[in-house]
Chain A
Amino acid sequence: MSGGKEYPIEELVEMALKMKSYFGKKGGVTVSGGEPLLQSKELVSFFKRLKEEGIHTNLDTNGRILNHFAKELLDDYTDLVMLDIKHMTEEGFERITGMKNKETTFNLAKHREASGKKMWLRYVLIPNITNHADLLHHMGKYFKNYKTIEKIELQPYHKLGVHKWEALGWEYQLKDARENTEEEIQEAVAILKNYFKEVKIN
């Protein structure tokens, strides 16, 4: 683990409590990353405390890990999983993330479905790379019978992040990717609406 700042769990709970009156019916605490499942063990204690305080818990993950702690976290303490689907093929997955772990993501989805608890999918739309009719149909067909999926959120790719990668001295894998046209976004929405209850553009 590198970067970031360490907080004692109780301090985080305290911060959440100060905001609790603003959560309303839909709000709560979302843990994202990096990849939060890398800290599953600690998150079990954190989410457990949040549940004791009546706070909604939400995990934003790409599903890279599914060990004993991750399962406990998901099954017992996570109200909502937001699962990031990078790509529908292993090659695509590798191109985007530099790793071959399509299967773990899909295993996590299966595990969640079996537990019967809420899940949203998230998907970044990159013209031709992920925003491609065949891939979208593929994803739709794969997940269409999942009862726990409430909606899919689409994040149209934008180049605002490029400079951050460059500043960190990392090679930006998607340098050549371009942004979606409004038409391309709407076409993607139209396809996915055949398979998902709700399709949302972020």
Chain B
Amino acid sequence: MEVKQFKEGIWTEKINVRDFVINNVVPYHGTHHFLTGPSLKTQQLWDICKEATKEERQNNGVRSLDTDTISTVSAFNAGYIDRENEVIVGLQTDELLKRTMKPFGGFKVVQKALSEHGVQPNENLTALFSKYVKTHNDGVFDAYTSEIKKYRSLGFLTGLPDNYARGRVIGDYRRIALYGIDFLIASKMQDLENIEGPMSDAVIRLREEVSEQIKALKEMIELGDKYDLNLRRPAQNAQEAVQWTYMAYLAAVKEQDGAAMSLGNVSTFLDIFIENDLQDGLITEEEAQEFIDQFVMKLRMVRHLRMGAYDEIFAGDPTWVTEAIGGMFADGRTKVTKTSFRFLNTLYNLGPSPEPNMTILWSQDLPQNFKDYCSKVAIDTSSIQFENDELMRNNRGSDDYGIACCVSYQELGKSIQFFGARTNLAKTLLLAINGGRCEITGTQMVDGIETLDDTYLDFDKVMANYKVAMKEVARVYNDSMNIIHYMHDKYYYEKAQMSLIDTNPNIDIAYGIAGLSIVADSLSAIKYAKVRPIRNEDGLTVDFKIEGEFPCYGNDDDRVDELAKNAVADFNYELKQLPVYKNANPTMSVLTITSNVAYGKKTGATPDGRDKGVPFAPGANPMHGRDSQGAIASLNSVAKIDYNDSQDGISNTFSIVPKSLGADEDDRIDNLSTILDGYFSRNAQHVNVNVLDKETLLDAMERPEEYPQLTIRVSGYAVNFVRLTREQQMEVITRSFHESM
């Protein structure tokens, strides 16, 4: 086979995938009309997958389980869906949709998850993990203080990755295709050689980590061998490039079951190989699409073993195979290629799907044809999300980045993230009104907060108390994060992913908040109306009576939007004051995933008039039904949150009924592209777009079997609507579906 010559550059000498892409990419400005449908092979494979996922749904969400093997990069033999028809191979195990044990995050969680499906881990493993092997979860709880445990159990801190894998790290999966593993090992050996004394904690740790990475790379060679793929050398054609990249990703999801296991930005990279083979007449467009369809199909089949309780914070069994598509290079060219279109086309060839979590990096300067195609796909499938490439590229500094989890910028191969779940800002505000006590249990959480006994809440007094509460909650939150990430590195280090990232990368810690709209509207009510707290015999607030009107967040009204903006800035400021493990850089998100329901349950009545237990709005969304001034006013309010105060992302989920977007398809496409241009020109960071009628969702609740692929964006990700619990479905339905612009 002739080895294709690429244009050389820095990348030829040392690892630098970005340089390879910049030198060899062929940007595409044309329309989507070149795209082809699924091949016969793809259709036959997908039929098998559809049948298998149906069995999975019918069998309580799990098709099969392995209770004997600890999943590692090379633990399982090769597995196939239907070998004859597979042009891209590789499964997490030897069988489609089989879930496996990855016990180093926490063995008890594995036991619980298995027992929920009526099985137990192999006895030897149980003995091993109860007596001899320590996990991340064990380590964290050895170090947790009673204070942290209190904040955690009462719902001030929720969803912390202390009993499951933290995820978020994006390996630069392109590296195996471009360089082959032999080169990567040599490079890591060189790095190891250069990490010298004096032997401080940090230096010792780094030497150990790089050694682990080298072992992982060797395991990946073994993995390739099981499938007769020689991953030691670079990929030599398009099919191999896709296959090699997938193998690198597969290694990651065999070893780790992090909440979010993003893919990065492989579409622009893979296009270079595909374009070469097309130019040389080695493959047809149908074959190019077939590689991508089958790659995406494999990504859709990724599964992790989860316990039932996990569903409360991450509903619908998501895996967050997030692929960033499009965007611009720093040199002004677009990163859009024909393979950007081919990825989106899988939503037609295989039907809508939540995974992979396709994320369009939007810029005013994207080719209009691409913008319009993205709008079309969003309207047709409600499966994709949009993020502001102009904002992130300029603010964060690189044009070669992926999206970690839902909405977070992460430079590829050079930077990682420590996932930090989130804190409940609404409960924090209630501390300010309840003398530092938990509003539900009365437990003293924060000392030094003056008890408020005025008939009506006084804005200045509440704010002063709230600042004290924020500072304390931030401190406890930071403590918990430092413990969690220390232990995760120690007991469940992501050696496979980290082997595909530069040694000693930059680290961002990704803190988060929930309940933003509740805080903003509550402060607005206190400031602009009169709020009278109703207290029980213990002096805790159980309800609030509001006299008069107040502006609500989501209506483009600066009086309250300013309160929301400041709520984000203030808490971020508190977090920034605190030192982080491994000197990570503090960032924060306004993102809830689906935990807005669980958070609401754990939060008492709030001064905005929300009753105890009622779900929060997701992410940075205005509260359901309160954004009454139309779609654009709602978007404008969210756009006011400053990205500098929330660099981990500001998630907005936007639902609009088709007819209010336009009379026919052309109008709708045109209008959605224009809305996205407008929204992002105001420095907004993220938006999920759902274009559907409430009636469709109601019908899907009644007749789920008719809607196996109905996909809906929730908060930074998408789910199969029918896989949500009834409670979560209802919450989605009560959200604002804009009927006017």
Chain A residues within CB distance 8 Å of chain B: 18-19, 21-27, 200-202
- Which of chain A's residues has its CB closest to B670's CB? A26
In contact, B674 and A24 (Cβ under 8 angstroms)? yes
Query: 18 A-B contacts, Cβ less than 8 Å apart?
Result: A18-B556, A19-B632, A19-B678, A21-B679, A21-B681, A22-B632, A22-B674, A22-B677, A22-B678, A22-B679, A22-B741, A23-B678, A24-B670, A24-B674, A24-B677, A27-B674, A201-B663, A202-B664
Of A21, A25, A27, which is in contact with the most chain B CB atoms at under 10 Å from its CB? A21
Q: Which residues of A contact B741 (CB under 8 A)?
A: 22
What are the interface flags for B664-675 relative to A under an 8 Å C-beta threshold, 1 for contact and 0 otherwise?
Answer: 100000100111
B657 → A minimal CB distance (Å): 15
Q: Which residues of B contact A200 (CB under 8 A)?
A: 663-664
The 4 closest A-B pairs by CB, nearest first: A22-B678, A24-B674, A21-B678, A202-B663
Kindly identify, within residues 427 to 477 of chain B, every residue whose CB is under 8 Å from any CB belonging to chain A. none
B605 → A minimal CB distance (Å): 33
Q: Which residues of A contact B663 (CB under 8 A)?
A: 200-202
- Which of chain B's residues has its CB closest to A22's CB? B678
What are the interface flags for B644-683 relative to A under an 8 Å C-beta threshold, 1 for contact and 0 otherwise?
Answer: 0000000000000000000110000010011101110110
With contacts A201-B664, A202-B663 taken as known, whether A21 is within 8 angstroms of B682 at the C-beta atoms is yes
| Alpha-carbon gap, A15 to B678, bound state (A) | 15
B374 → A minimal CB distance (Å): 15
Q: Which residues of A contact B670 (CB under 8 A)?
A: 24, 26
Kindly identify, within residues 665 to 711 of chain B, every residue whose CB is under 8 Å from any CB belonging to chain A. 670, 673-675, 677-679, 681-682
In contact, B673 and A24 (Cβ under 8 angstroms)? yes
In contact, B556 and A22 (Cβ under 8 angstroms)? no
Which of B636, B674, B679 is A23 in contact with, Cβ under 8 Å?
A: B674
In contact, B636 and A18 (Cβ under 8 angstroms)? yes
| Alpha-carbon gap, A22 to B632, bound state (A) | 8
Kindly identify, within residues 103 to 119 of chain B, every residue whose CB is under 8 Å from any CB belonging to chain A. none
Q: Which residues of A contact B633 (CB under 8 A)?
A: 18
Q: Which residues of A contact B681 (CB under 8 A)?
A: 21
Number of interface residues of B (CB under 8 A): 16
Q: Which residues of B contact A21 (CB under 8 A)?
A: 677-679, 681-682
| Alpha-carbon gap, A107 to B138, bound state (A) | 85
Given contacts A21-B681, A22-B741, A202-B663, 8 further A-B contacts (CB under 8 A): A18-B556, A18-B636, A22-B674, A22-B679, A24-B677, A26-B670, A201-B663, A201-B664
Q: Which residues of A contact B679 (CB under 8 A)?
A: 21-22
Q: Which residues of B contact A27 (CB under 8 A)?
A: 674
Which of B556, B664, B674, B678 is A26 in contact with, Cβ under 8 Å?
A: B674
- Which of chain B's residues has its CB closest to A19's CB? B632
- Which of chain A's residues has its CB closest to B673's CB? A24
Chain B residues within CB distance 8 Å of chain A: 556, 632-633, 636, 663-664, 670, 673-675, 677-679, 681-682, 741
- Which of chain B's residues has its CB closest to A27's CB? B674
| Alpha-carbon gap, A21 to B673, bound state (A) | 12
| Alpha-carbon gap, A19 to B633, bound state (A) | 8
| Alpha-carbon gap, A47 to B316, bound state (A) | 50
Q: Which residues of B contact A26 (CB under 8 A)?
A: 670, 674
- Which of chain A's residues has its CB closest to B636's CB? A18
| Alpha-carbon gap, A9 to B445, bound state (A) | 52
| Alpha-carbon gap, A126 to B663, bound state (A) | 19
- Which of chain A's residues has its CB closest to B630's CB? A19
| Alpha-carbon gap, A23 to B556, bound state (A) | 17
- Which of chain A's residues has its CB closest to B676's CB? A22
Q: Which residues of B contact A22 (CB under 8 A)?
A: 632, 674-675, 677-679, 741
A188 → B minimal CB distance (Å): 16
| Alpha-carbon gap, A26 to B677, bound state (A) | 13
B371 → A minimal CB distance (Å): 11
| Alpha-carbon gap, A19 to B682, bound state (A) | 11
Of A18, A22, A24, A200, which is in contact with the most chain B CB atoms at under 10 Å from its CB? A22
In contact, B664 and A24 (Cβ under 8 angstroms)? no
| Alpha-carbon gap, A57 to B678, bound state (A) | 18
| Alpha-carbon gap, A105 to B669, bound state (A) | 33
- Which of chain A's residues has its CB closest to B682's CB? A21
A42 → B minimal CB distance (Å): 23
| Alpha-carbon gap, A200 to B556, bound state (A) | 34
| Alpha-carbon gap, A18 to B633, bound state (A) | 8
A119 → B minimal CB distance (Å): 19
Q: Which residues of A contact B682 (CB under 8 A)?
A: 21
| Alpha-carbon gap, A200 to B664, bound state (A) | 9
Of B556, B674, B682, which is in contact with the most chain A CB atoms at under 10 Å from its CB? B674
- Which of chain A's residues has its CB closest to B664's CB? A201
| Alpha-carbon gap, A202 to B663, bound state (A) | 5
Q: Which residues of B contact A201 (CB under 8 A)?
A: 663-664
| Alpha-carbon gap, A48 to B679, bound state (A) | 26
- Which of chain A's residues has its CB closest to B666's CB? A200
B491 → A minimal CB distance (Å): 49
Q: Which residues of A contact B675 (CB under 8 A)?
A: 22
- Which of chain B's residues has its CB closest to A25's CB? B674
Q: Which residues of A contact B673 (CB under 8 A)?
A: 24
| Alpha-carbon gap, A22 to B679, bound state (A) | 7
B310 → A minimal CB distance (Å): 39
Q: Which residues of A contact B556 (CB under 8 A)?
A: 18
| Alpha-carbon gap, A170 to B332, bound state (A) | 60
| Alpha-carbon gap, A5 to B316, bound state (A) | 46
Q: Which residues of B contact A25 (CB under 8 A)?
A: 674
A7 → B minimal CB distance (Å): 14
| Alpha-carbon gap, A21 to B677, bound state (A) | 8
A16 → B minimal CB distance (Å): 11
| Alpha-carbon gap, A24 to B682, bound state (A) | 13
B738 → A minimal CB distance (Å): 13
B622 → A minimal CB distance (Å): 16
| Alpha-carbon gap, A200 to B666, bound state (A) | 11
- Which of chain A's residues has its CB closest to B662's CB? A202
| Alpha-carbon gap, A4 to B677, bound state (A) | 32
Q: Which residues of A contact B674 (CB under 8 A)?
A: 22-27
| Alpha-carbon gap, A166 to B378, bound state (A) | 39
| Alpha-carbon gap, A27 to B556, bound state (A) | 20
Q: Which residues of B contact A24 (CB under 8 A)?
A: 670, 673-674, 677-678
Of A24, A25, A201, which is in contact with the most chain B CB atoms at under 10 Å from its CB? A24
Q: Which residues of B contact A18 (CB under 8 A)?
A: 556, 632-633, 636
B511 → A minimal CB distance (Å): 30
| Alpha-carbon gap, A27 to B741, bound state (A) | 12
Q: Which residues of A contact B677 (CB under 8 A)?
A: 21-22, 24
B560 → A minimal CB distance (Å): 15
B510 → A minimal CB distance (Å): 29
| Alpha-carbon gap, A27 to B678, bound state (A) | 11
| Alpha-carbon gap, A27 to B632, bound state (A) | 13
A190 → B minimal CB distance (Å): 18
A166 → B minimal CB distance (Å): 22
- Which of chain B's residues has its CB closest to A21's CB? B678
B681 → A minimal CB distance (Å): 5
A73 → B minimal CB distance (Å): 24
| Alpha-carbon gap, A153 to B57, bound state (A) | 47
| Alpha-carbon gap, A146 to B61, bound state (A) | 64
- Which of chain B's residues has its CB closest to A155's CB? B663
| Alpha-carbon gap, A18 to B629, bound state (A) | 12
A124 → B minimal CB distance (Å): 14
| Alpha-carbon gap, A138 to B546, bound state (A) | 63
| Alpha-carbon gap, A21 to B676, bound state (A) | 10
A125 → B minimal CB distance (Å): 14
| Alpha-carbon gap, A21 to B675, bound state (A) | 8
Q: Which residues of B contact A19 (CB under 8 A)?
A: 632, 678
Q: Which residues of A contact B632 (CB under 8 A)?
A: 18-19, 22
| Alpha-carbon gap, A132 to B514, bound state (A) | 59
| Alpha-carbon gap, A21 to B681, bound state (A) | 7
- Which of chain A's residues has its CB closest to B681's CB? A21
- Which of chain B's residues has its CB closest to A202's CB? B663
| Alpha-carbon gap, A19 to B678, bound state (A) | 8
A151 → B minimal CB distance (Å): 12
| Alpha-carbon gap, A18 to B741, bound state (A) | 13
| Alpha-carbon gap, A202 to B675, bound state (A) | 20
Q: Which residues of A contact B636 (CB under 8 A)?
A: 18
